[in-house]
Structure 1
Amino acid sequence: MTRAGCAAATLIVTALATFAGASPAAAAATEAAEPGPVVVVGMTGLRWEDVGALTTPALWDLSRTGSVGTVAARSLNPFACPADGWLALSAGARAADLAAERYGDCRTLREPGADALVPGWADYVQSALEEDYDANLGVLGDAVAAGGVTATGIGAGAAIALADSGGRAVGVHQRRPFAVADLETAVRTALGTSALVVVDVGTVRDPGELTVDRVPSGLDADGDGQPDPGATPTLEPGESDDADLTAPDAVTEPTRSDQVRAVDARIAAVLDAVDRSGQDATVLVASLADSGTQPHLQLAAATGPSAVEGGAPFEQTLLESRSTRQPGYLMTTDLTPTILSALGIRDSAPEGVLVGSPVTTTAGPELASGRVAAMIDQDRHARAVRPLVGPFFTLLIAVNLVLYALVTLGLNGAVLANLSTGLNRVLPGRAGRAVARSLTSRPGVVLAGLRVAGVAVASIPVATFLANLTPWWRVQPPSYALTGLILAWIAVITGLALLPPWKSWLLGPVGVVAAVTAGVVAVDIGTGGRLQISALMGVQPLVGARFYGFNNQAFALFAAATLLLAVAVANSLVKRGRRARAVAVVAAIGIIATALDGLPGLGSDFGGPPALVPGFAVLGLLAAGVRLTWWRVLAVLSAGAAVVISFAVLDWLRPVDSRTHLGRFVQTVLDGGLVPVLTRKASQNVDILFGNPLTLLAIAGVALVVLVLGRPLRTLASAPDGGPFGWLSAGAPLTQLGTDAPMLRPGLTALAITLGIGFALNDSGVVIPAVGIAVVVPLLVAACAAWMLRVRPTR
């Protein structure tokens, strides 16, 4: 029911109650049930670290009485410009201005003219059409108009937020007054006539990052970058009509603290107007964009009644939404459904266009200072990990490549023989012979070291998650603390994997590392995914993508670990001829892994189940000794598709605001949006395939598995003395490895299927085989070293 309908219903009920002699208390209760207005206070570039008792008294008081959170303001670009944030509010989806000629330049927002047309709207529409996110600009304005809600916008950003699909601000639009007292008066007046009031209280920019003017759309038909003759852009008071529209604002640049104080004063005016209006208004305060090219988590706060029916009021709690499912984290796309829900016109927006969920509350620290400190800590954590992600993956690639080179070249008998000959020639006498002898005289020590190295390298990914158990980002410099924690966890996991109970088990170290990796990821996902937030291989809040469930990297680790765990457990059963039990173990692990990965509210992973089900099905068939045929392969692929479709349909049947991206994908398909989604995923895969360092790891790993363990393995397997690696295996033929570990080759087949399908079905899919290989290949090296140690004669 719209607010107008609610008001009419209230009047009728009150009149009937009076006519029937109802008590004044009952009438008052009925009147109290009438929802208050919604006030949206928007700005850009403001963070919780800017807030102080003396510098920002309004925000300081709001943090003590209301609910607080942070906003991931990421748009289509690495950073969000002011226009991007207001456009996201308009569309309820990611949107952005057209890219500027110079990186980092953001458009100065201008007030609409007499025709209420938002300056630059044609550029915004063009940008939305060129991107693959299908943003529908004007969703909020159209829904407000369709729902019969009276609205008032104050300021240039508010005009963008309340614009309809044609770019004209709905309701009443006012310029933001320069005097704070006048702003308070304007808001109080608006609250007397409007159910929705949106106020743009200003922009905070970093030093050297002032916004720049652009020629408003529609005033430059000839495309020369200057207004057409006779076309006059809308000017702010005090501006000249001969201003250079391509240069930064010709004013003395204010300090950041000056800008923050000005914004806080305007927020105080709006809050005072709400208080003096006497209405029980829901007030949403949010910073919608970054203050420069370095992204941050932005400030968010709310006060008043909940935006959802039956929800707790916004007071002394943390904010969250079902889009993030993380205490204190919001996205700009959550604000639009919050406004519509608070107004009671959620159904006025077309189904499927809103990607966010209404903002709600969750428990947080008891003291207000603790809640604000937690929000500052979230931003500090996100910023601390951001510059470390690239170097970490580069190092991970380098470590894996060194391990690959050591196995393929450093331990090859023929290569070592040539090296020994060369050393004998270079180093005279005993020195040359001693060095040459040391290379091959201690194969047991070499193999033991190789096993440790393989286990340690495979432990790196899960160690990056466990490092988040300790607040390393609070230490200076944080990179040192994080490095120390990761090394400590690697040592713990490696030591655990090489303990006597399973050290003597051929695939024991493999099983332990796989169990730890799968267990850590599973427990984290099951408890809300806290360890993934701002982890090196986890979720990056500043990117504003997925905050819960399985992202691509977590899925790759989990898929590889669960398959290797199944291989390790089933291997001994198959070797003893207990194939039925081996199949049961594989099936049990596969069912649990698939359910955790795909169920809405847990893993919520669309591309995971169709990759996991075929992998575990093939592994189960091979464990049972069943030969693979094309019909059987097709059957397991179909089973994977059926599972993910079932999960998605079940999610789609839930209420709109409770759906995960599984249910939203079903709605997208029903709305005819399947092709753009597939196009976007394919485009992202191609871009990353040729522009991401993880590609090097994937290529190196595939080359090792296919070339080093493929064709050479067939040649070496026929050698009765082990070929170039015979000095390590004491002459044992490599065919014996297949006998001692009968599930190893089926496991590699299942892994190839799962990682391959994962690559094909997911955006940024190249991450999946790359991360999977970073776990699988080192553990494979460790398993081969353990086997050679077993077959060597004891002395």
Structure 2
Amino acid sequence: MTSSTPNPAAATTRAPSARTVARLWRALVVALSAVVLLMLTPPSVAGATPDGAASPSRVAAASGGVTGAVEPSLAGGQPRDVDPDRPVVVIGVAGLAWADVTPMTPALWSLSQDSVGSLVVRSVRTSSCPADGWLAISAGTRAADTSGPCRDLLEPDPDGSVPGWADYQAAAAEENFDARLGLLGDATVGTQTPATSIGPGAAIALADAAGQTADHMRRPTGAQEWTVQTTIALERSRLVVIDAGEVQDAPGPVTTQQYHDNQVQVADEHVAAIIQGIRDSGTDPVIVLSGISDSGSGPGLRVLAISGADQEPALLTSSSTRQDGYVLATDQQATITGLLGITAAIPSGVTIGAPARALPDSSTAAQRIEVLLDDELHAQAVRPLVASYYLILVILNLALFAAVALGLKRPAATRIRAFLARRFPRRRGRPDENLVVARSGVLRLLRVVALSIGALPVSSFLANLLPWWRSTPPALGLAVITLGWVALIVAIALVGPWRRRVLGPATWVAAVTAGVLTVDVVTGATLQISAVMGVPTLVAGRFYGMNNTSFSLFTVSTLLVTVAIANPLVRAGRRKLAGVIVLAIGVFAAAIDGAPGIGADFGGPPALLPAYGLLALMAAGIRLTWKRVLGVLAVAAAATIGLAFIDWLRPADDRTHLGRFFQTVLDGGLWPVIARKLDQNITILFGNRPLTILAICGVLTVVFVLARPIRGAITSPGGGGYDWLSAGTPISRMGRDAPMLPPGIIAIGVALGLGLVVNDSGIAIPAIGVSVTVPLLLAACATWMLALEPADLIRANQEPGEPVRTAAAPPAQPVRRVRVPRRGRPG
């Protein structure tokens, strides 16, 4: 489909004048200015209740509601007034999960009656160790111990130095997160805020940059000692950080539930003694209960609870996640400094966390915990299915490409028809009808299969509208619901009023994909949470806006829809209007993807805007030159920087990662960010991950193996090996019926290529884009072939050497002789 026959209507259109080109450039500038003005408005809060409370439907999910349809609450939540004299007690129990907090653990249960949330403890590696969690509190960013088994934490030396601090600093230096250990300890010293640590983990959290602790107590051994030490610490400090123990898996090959329960019971006894010590001190602190890290068997969501006299029942969130009930481990430092009122002591731009905030609701504590348990169930259910899903998606695409490139060409098709003819003889007297049915049946089957594969990604998101993770096994529930959505989307594509248009069915699938993703990001991106192609919550990535997978799907689907909208205008010769409409859609798509309050995707506009700019020029009939291409790229770069700058103008706690990136650049941290992105790209490209290797092989197979025979057939005058499907019509004629299709393919290639460069998912972006684009293009091609007149159908299906037969010739009539009188001689 790379070459096309010029449209007669368009061929008579004069080339755009210099004035037309200038007008289009001015329209581009005006449109981008509109985006900038849009970005100046504060982000809307979709689905927020008037008082910023958590959506009731979110809590209703615990009793069997539909979690995917939940409207997001105010991401910022309710800020708390800081009492400069009120102490803060942080209790850490490494590995503590919400499944461990029940009425059978009364002390832990008592701390879960107010604000609660799931703590995402992922740090540098897949599973976090206790040291990693305490280092996150210390640094306010991702930091971890050296690789290997989790070390046993030891009490500080007599001189106050933390054991292993040099290893922690060396590990931080090797990573690209620019972690500055000791920030919290330095902040308390710099603001003269008295702080006491109890236990080895707490010493890590409160150590200064040199790894020294100012006021430390060794971990108690009995309940009475826990109580006394807590009371003493509160009498002399505003901040008390306590390492209350760990809930770790059994040291043997098999984890027993009894071993786990015993550790939870011990932790509950420690917390009960700490609570008694708080009461004995006569103070009224804010108590933060943290699950700190994973338990050893694998990643999971952990406990985060904030309680105190002024706390109210609520779900916790932060501007880092913008999702009800989710807080990152790196948010804990900002939460602590915010409660103490010493946030200003943390240097700007060196941390990535945001304070945890409350989303008050009227549900009971048991209902809120049930919601968090359901989130954990969802996260654990989807985790083992992601690789299998992508494997299936890639295999289906490769099978489709191979069937089209190799199986449907004339030599293979002839052998298949001969085999079927032997197994299923044709009915006598109706050979021509059988030929027609065979061709149309193959094309209809190809279209259904291609549309189904193209609809698979968006269906995986829609599957989250139903709680498939509660089924047994979860994989079966996900498969049934996903295939149900695929069937519904494809059925509508084939029965809708657009079914006979060349781009109609494929455009419907693309429109559903673009529409679902748009509505999702505008309303809080809840469908993406723990979706197989969405946001894996256990990875602690970006929980809101467009992630890289969604960006790839959104990009190709919106471009395909744009091609379908502009196509009739170009065929009618109204190229100027087509160019303006393409430009308007591009600005809208870039705003959805890049707006801080919506998509918040820094790497999206640099790929979307050039693609749409070039597509607009081609739709308007303007010849592409190096100057024009560079101009489009420059405007796109300026718009992207403008988005980040506008987000940076907002208060620090309200910024998305766009504004935080701008601040990082101002603080001189650009190169570490670039290095980290490059490292992630290289890791994905050359890492030992079967999914990535398979995706790369899929792209290479399509481009270098399967595309070559298809390209030859496209340029062949009679359809090449596909003449029996195209009725002898050159496939390049499709470019005349859909003149915007070749420019659209170019624009998709530009967007995916730039997306590969500017995003940190690397080869995954074009791989995902190809897995949707190519099936939908094949579906459009099948629709076009079905609409062809079958005048040459029988000729195209004849075997070499077979007598010529015609499909529509009337039956032969007997020849009747007519006597014509001859001219005679006169006489």
Query: Hey, what's the Cα distance between the residues in 1 that align with 2:534 and 2:147?
Result: 29
Relative to the length of structure 1, the TM-score reads 0.85
| CA–CA distance in structure 2, aligned partners of residues 389 and 253 of structure 1 | 28
For residues 36 and 193 of structure 1, what CA distance do their matches in structure 2 show? 12
1:302 and 2:306 are equivalent in the alignment: yes
- 2:181, 2:267 → 1: CA distance? 27
Residue matched to 2:172: 128
Partners of 1:568 and 1:190 in 2: CA distance? 69
Match of 2:413 in 1: 416
Q: Which runs of 5+ in 2 are unaligned?
A: 1-80, 792-807, 809-827
What is the SS of the residue equivalent to 2:89?
A: strand
Deviations 1:442-488 (CA, angstroms, capped at 9, x unpaired) = 11111011111111100000001000000111111111111000000
CA deviation after TM superposition for structure 1 residue 423, in Å: 8.4
Pairing of 1:339-488 with structure 2 (within 5 A): 339-364=336-361, 366-418=363-415, 442-488=438-484
Q: Residues 695 and 503 (structure 1 numbering): CA distance in 2 closer, same or farther, change over 3 Å?
A: farther
- The residue type paired with residue 73 of structure 1 is V
Identify the match of residue 103 of structure 2 among 53, 78, 84.
53
- % identical equivalent positions: 48
Aligned to 1:9: none
Q: Secondary structure at the match of 1:522?
A: helix
The Cα of 1:135 is off from its aligned counterpart by 0.9
Q: CA deviation at 1:792?
A: 3.4
1:197 is matched with which residue: 216, 240, 253? 240
List per-residue Cα deviations over 1:669-697 (Å, max 9, x = no partner).
22222222212211211221233424534
Deviation string 1:293-331 (CA, Å, 9 cap, x unpaired) is: 3111001100127xxxxxxx5321111111011111011
Cα 1:32/1:70, change in 2 over 3 Å = closer
| 8 Å Cα contact 1:207/1:253 also seen in 2 | no
Once the two structures are superposed, residues 71-103 of structure 1 have per-residue CA deviations (whole angstroms, 9 ceiling, x without a partner) of 111111110011111111111111111112xxx
Match of 1:8 in 2: none
State the Cα distance separating 1:422 from its structure 2 match.
8.1
**SS state of the match for residue 241, structure 2?**
strand
Structure 1 residues 725, 273: CA separation in 2 closer, same or farther (over 3 Å shift)? same
AA at the equivalent of 1:512: W
Whether 1:512 and 2:508 are equivalent positions in the alignment is yes
Q: For residue 289 of structure 1, give the secondary structure of its aligned residue in structure 2.
A: coil
Secondary structure, counterpart of 1:503 in structure 2: coil
Higher relative contact order (CA 8 A, sep 6+): 2
Cα shift at 1:34: 5.0
Whether contact under 8 Å (1:41, 1:283) holds in the other structure is: yes
| 2:92 counterpart (42, 45, 57) | 42
1:94 aligns with 2:92: no
CA distance in 2, matches of 1:453, 1:500: 18
Q: Which residue of 1 aligns with 2:223?
A: 180
Partner secondary structure for residue 251 of structure 2: coil
The superposition leaves residues 32-74 of structure 1 with CA deviations (integer Å, 9 ceiling, x where unpaired) of: 96540111111211101111212x101212222x111111111
Aligned partner letter, 1:111: E
RMSD (Å) for aligned C-alpha atoms? 2.5
State how far apart, in whole Å, the 2-side matches of 1:480 and 1:671 are. 49
Amino acid at match of 2:264: V
Structure-2 separation of matches of 1:501 and 1:206: 59
Q: 2:561 matched to 1:557?
A: no
With 31-40 and 460-469 compared, the bigger mean Cα shift is at: 31-40
Counterpart code for 1:269: A
- Return the offset for 1:788: 0.5
Q: Is the 8 A contact 2:402 2:706 kept in 1?
A: no
- Pair 1:273-2:317 in alignment: no
Secondary structure class of the residue paired with 2:299? coil
Aligned amino acid, residue 273 of structure 1: G
- Residues 518 and 85 of structure 1: is their aligned pair in 2 closer, same or farther, counting only changes over 3 Å? same
CA deviations 1:481-514 (Å, max 9, x no partner) are: 1100000000011111112401011111121111
Separation in structure 2 between the aligned mates of residue 695 and residue 737 of structure 1, nearest angstrom: 34
Q: Partners in 1 of 2:537 and 2:655 — Cα distance?
A: 20
Is the contact made by 2:94 and 2:130 (CA closer than 8 Å) also made in structure 1? yes
Shift of 1:601: 2.4
Q: Distance in 2 between matches of 1:483 and 1:422?
A: 34
Task: Extract unaligned runs of 5+ from structure 1.
Answer: 1-30, 211-251, 306-312
Q: Secondary structure at the match of 1:41?
A: strand
SS in 1 for 2:498: helix
The residue aligned with 1:334 is 331
Q: Summarize the Cα distance change of 1:295–1:618 in structure 2 as closer, same or farther, 3 Å threshold.
A: same
Q: Aligned to 1:165, what secondary structure does the other structure show?
A: coil
What is the letter of the counterpart of residue 115 of structure 1? D
Greater C-alpha Rg: 2
Give the deviation of 1:609 after TM superposition. 0.5
Aligned amino acid, residue 221 of structure 2: F
In the other structure, the counterpart of 2:669 is: 673
Whole-angstrom distance in 1 between the partners of 2:573 and 2:593: 31
How many residues were matched structurally?
A: 707
Q: Which amino acid is the alignment partner of residue 265 of structure 1?
A: E
Q: Following TM superposition, by how much is the alpha carbon of 1:735 offset from its aligned partner in structure 2, in angstroms?
A: 2.2
- Provide the residue aligned with 1:522 in structure 2: 518
Q: Secondary structure at the match of 2:330?
A: helix
- Shifted more, 508-517 versus 265-274: the winner is 265-274
Residue equivalent to 1:308: none
**Contact 2:202–2:243 under 8 Å retained in 1:** yes
Residue 264 of structure 2: aligned partner: 260
**Structure 1 position 156 matched with structure 2 position 200:** yes
- Relative to structure 1, the CA distance from residue 75 to residue 264 in structure 2 (aligned partners, 3 Å threshold; closer, same or farther) is same
Structure 1 distance, partners of 2:716, 2:91, is 76
